[in-house]
Amino acid sequence: MKSTTLSMLDWRALLGHLVRWLSNLRRAGNARKQESKRALEDVVRTVRRTQVVLRAIDGGRAAPADEADLAERWTELGFRLESLGLGKLAKRCEIRGRHGADPEALDAEFIARADIQLDRIEKLARLTLRELDSK
């Protein structure tokens, strides 16, 4: 077996590569944290929008386009949150989107177990935001 020794230049190149790699890793971590925060803030905004549309539905003023927009927003949030590793909230958003797109597709017992009440979703989003801010 042949022995390989590293020269001082090799060590410097390796050290430089390691420093750049760690720097990139730190930036990626910060970028992911910021994207997570934006997604969680979007959850709170979508909760608010849903509350407004539900009030309009109760008053007979909502358009089908409003409901379609919300189903799409919730679904998109589910995808974003899943890709960020926020699975628990992602699942609730995904179910909220499915339920908004076709309320008859999911039975009442499933909806109750899914825990997709707007106030519960917002609470989970805010708790996760606080957890991110403390890191």
Going by pLDDT thresholds of 50, 70 and 90, the confidence category of residue 66 is: very high
- How far apart CA 67 and CA 18 sit, in angstroms, is 50
Kindly report whether the global pTM for this prediction surpasses the value 0.85: no
Q: What is the DSSP string of 100-122?
A: HH-TTSS-HHHHHHHT--HHHHH
Interval 105-111 mean pLDDT: 94
The pLDDT > 90 percentage for the chain reads 68
pLDDT for residue 13 is more than 90: no
User: Can you give the residue ranges of every domain in the chain?
Assistant: 35-133
Q: Which two tokens stand for residue 115?
A: 């825990």
Identify whether the C-beta of residue 84 lies closer than 8 Å to the C-beta of residue 35. Answer: yes
pLDDT at 78: 98
pLDDT for residue 20 is more than 80: no
